[in-house]
Structure 1
Amino acid sequence: MSEGDKALRVAVLGCGSVGSQVVRLLTEQSADLAARAGARLELAGVAVRRLDAKREVEVPEHLLTTDAMDLVTRDDVDLVVEVIGGIEPARGLILAALENGASVVSANKALLAEDGATLFEAADKSARDLYYEAAVAGAIPILRPLRESLTGDKVTRVLGIVNGTTNFILDKMHTSGAGFAEALEEAQELGYAEADPTADVEGFDAAAKAAILASLAFHTRVTAGDVHREGIAEVSAADVASAREMRSVVKLLAICELRDGAVSARVHPAMIPDTHPLASVREAYNAVFVESEAAGQLMFYGPGAGGAPTASAVLGDLVTAARNLLSGSRGAGESAYAALDVLPMGETVTRYHVGIDVQDRAGVLATVAAAFAEHGVSIQTVRQEGRGDDAQLVVVSHRATDAQLSATVEHLRNMDIVREVTSVMRVEGEND
C-alpha cells in the first residue's frame, strides 16, 4: 500500500468553538497533515448533543451522531479527540476509547487535574497515547517542553498567567482605573468572560492548569484539590492603584515550585514588578515563565484560549499520536516517579503587601511593627498615606511563611489602633 493509501480514522467528541475548528483544520489541511503524520487523517464521526444545533463549521450530516459511546468504540476509529470538557461523560468516553485501542487527544483540564491518574493508567494498559497539550494555555506549547524538552533538566519553578479572562479584567483595571465589576462587565460584552464567570474569576480554571503544570514539572501527581486557590473578585481599584505606585502590576498567577524537597502549587492574585516579563502580558493573552537549573529562565507566550488557537494544539498532538500508531510506538506517558509531598499553603514562603487603616497618633508605627515582629515577619518597606482620620499605613514584608503572614494580618485586625485592614495581597517577582 502506498503512503497516499494509508488512512487513520479520527472521532471528534464535541463540535463547539474548539471542536468545530478541529474539524475545519482536518478538512482544509488534510494534504499537509497526511504528509506530516504519514497517513491521511479521515473524520470517522463527530459526536454532538444536538444534531440540529447551529455550528461554526458545516459538518456533513452523515458524520454527526449523538451517540458518543458508540462512536468511540467503533472498530474503525484509530484516534479520538475529546473537546467536550467536564468530568462526565468525558471520563467514561476516554476510558472506553483507550480500552478499544484508540489513542486519545484531550483538551480537558478539569478532568486531567481531578483524575489524570486513572486516564494515564488506562493508556498504559492499552499501550496507547494520551496527549493533552491543549489543556493548558491554548496554542502555547508548554506541556511538551516540560514533558520532553526539559526532561534532562531539573525544573525548579513554573510561574504563569494561564487564564485569559482574569488577565483581561486585571489589565483593564490597571490601564483604566476601573473597578472589578466594571472590568468584568466589559469582558463579558467582548466575549472574554462567560455569563457565569465563576470558574475563571474564582481561580478554578487556573488551579486545574496549575495542577497539570506541577505534575509535569516535578514528576509528582498533583490534583486540583492540592492547589491553593484564590480568585480576583476581591481585588479592588485601590489595590491596583497601590501596585502602580510601587511600580508593580496585579496578575492572577499560577505558581508551582520546589521547596525543601516538596512541591508548592498555588493560584492567587499577586503584585509583580513592572520589570518582570509577565507584567507586560496584556489583554487576554497567557504566558508561562519556567525556571530550571541548567536552562535557566524560559518564557512561553501567546493566545491562551479561543477555538482556532486551541485547535492548533489539538492537531499537533493528533499528528504525533498518528505517527506513533503507524510506527507501533508510544510517546512519553505519565512521569510521577518523584512522588513528592505537596506543601500546605501555610508552609509556602511569600511576601505580603498590607494596607492598614490606623488611628493617627504617636507610636502607631512602632506598635504595628511590633505585631509583625511578634510573628517573625520582617518589614521591607512601610509608608504612610494621608493624615488624621484618613491615615493609612502600607507595609510590604520580607519573605516569611504564609502562616506567619496570615497570623500577622489577623493580629492587626484585632488591634485597637487598627480600624481596618484594607488590603492584603501577596508580592512575587524581584527580591523574592
Structure 2
Amino acid sequence: MAEEQTWRAIARRTSRKINFGWWLQVLSTPLLITSLIIACGILILRRELDAMPWMQLVGGAIVALALTGLACWLAARAHFESSKQSLVRIEAAMRLRNALTAADHGIAPWPAVPVMINDGTSWHWKRLLPPMIGAAMIIACGFMIPVHAKSIASDPAQEPSAWSELDTSLDQLDNQEVIQDDYVEEMREKLEKLREQSPDEWFSHSSLEATDTLKQNHAKEQEALKNNLQRAEQNLAELQNGGAKMNEQKKQRLLNEFDEALKKMEQGGMKPNEKLLKQLKKLDPKQLDQLTPEQLDQLRENMRQHAEKLKQQDGGKGDQPGEDDWMNDQEGEGEGEDGDAEKPGKGGINRGPGTAPDVLGAPHADAGKGKLERLKNDNKEQALPGDLLETSDDKHEVDETKQGPTAGGKATAKGKGGDRVWKDSLLPEEKKALKKFFE
C-alpha cells in the first residue's frame, strides 16, 4: 500500500512538471509582447504625469501578466498529461515492463520504489530562461530609461489687456452695486464669446475690432450714466435751493432736464441700481415740498456717490493719466488744417481701413486719366535691343485722283515661228542638269 501511494505521488509530480514545462513554452512569446507593452505604458506615464501612481502602476502590470499567463495556460492544456500518462512515461523511462500499468489496473502488485526515479525528462534552461529574463529586463527598462518629462505646458496665450480691464471694471461696478446686474451679465457673455475663439484668433483684426467696439461702448454707457446722474442731481439742487423764488420758465426748464436725464437712465444700456432708480421714479420734482430737506440731501448725496464711482472707473483708469492716455498724447493729428494735412493722422486703436492715401504727396490736378499718350524714352543711350523707344500714329499717303481704263499699247515687231517667247538665265549647275536630263 505504501508503494502505491509513493508511485502515485511520483506520477503526480511528473505530471505537474510536464504541464508546467508546456505552459512555459507557450508563455515565452506572449510574455515578451506583454512586457514590451507594459514598458511602453510605463514610459508614457512617466512622461505625461508629474506624480507617478506607483501602486496603481504595479497593480496594473501584475494584472496584465496574470491575464497573459492565464491565456497561455488555457492554450497549453491540449498538451497536458494526466497522472496515469505520467506512470506510463516513468515505467518506459525506467524499463519496468508495464509493471506500473499492471499494478494500477490491479493485475500485479506495486513494485518497490527505487532510490533514483527517472521520468525521462530534463529542464532545458537555456531555452526557458531567456524569455523570462528578457521580459524582466524590458519591464525594468520602462522604469530605468531616462525620460524627459513632457515639456511643461506653455503658459496660456496672453489675452488682450482690454479684456482684463473690462473684467476689472465690471467686477468693481458689480461689487459696489452701482449698476444693475443685467448689464454686467450681458457684458460678461460678450467677453466669453471672444474668449471662446482660438487663442490664435485673439489678436486678429476682427477680434481686436470687436474688443475695441465693446470697450468703447462700455465707456460710452458709463460716461452717459455718469452725466445723467450729475445733471439730474444738479437740477434737483437748483430746484431745492430756488424754491418759490425761481421763475416759472427756469423751473420748467429744470424739470424738463430732470425728466430727460431720468428717461435716458431708464433707456440706457447701463442703468443705475434698482433701489436708486425706483427712488428717482417715485420722486416728483414738482412736489419737492413733500420731502424734508434731509431726504433730498440724502438722495442727492446718493446720486453724487454713484456718479463719483462711475467717474473713478472711467474704463478702469481713474482720474490719473494711464498708458493709453500717454500714447494718445504722442499721436498727432497732423499740422495742417481740415483738408489736405501734412501727416496721415494718428493711428488710434481703430487702426483704420489700411494705409493712408496719398503717402507720396498730393496728386496732380490733371492726372490724364482716360487719355492716350505716346510712350517716350528721353534717355535713348540706356536703351536695350528690343526696347520700345517711341510709338507713332501715322496714315498712308494715298493718291485719290480718279483714273479710268487706259490702252496697253501696240506690238512693235512680229514674232517668227520657232522663236522662243521666254528666255531663262540659268546658272551653270542648272544648265548641266538640264543637258544631262535631255541627253
TM-score, normalised with respect to structure 2: 0.17
Q: Which has the higher strand share?
A: 1
Quick one: higher RCO (CA 8 Å, sep 6+), 1 or 2?
Answer: 1
TM-score, normalised with respect to structure 1: 0.17
Q: Which has the higher helix share?
A: 2
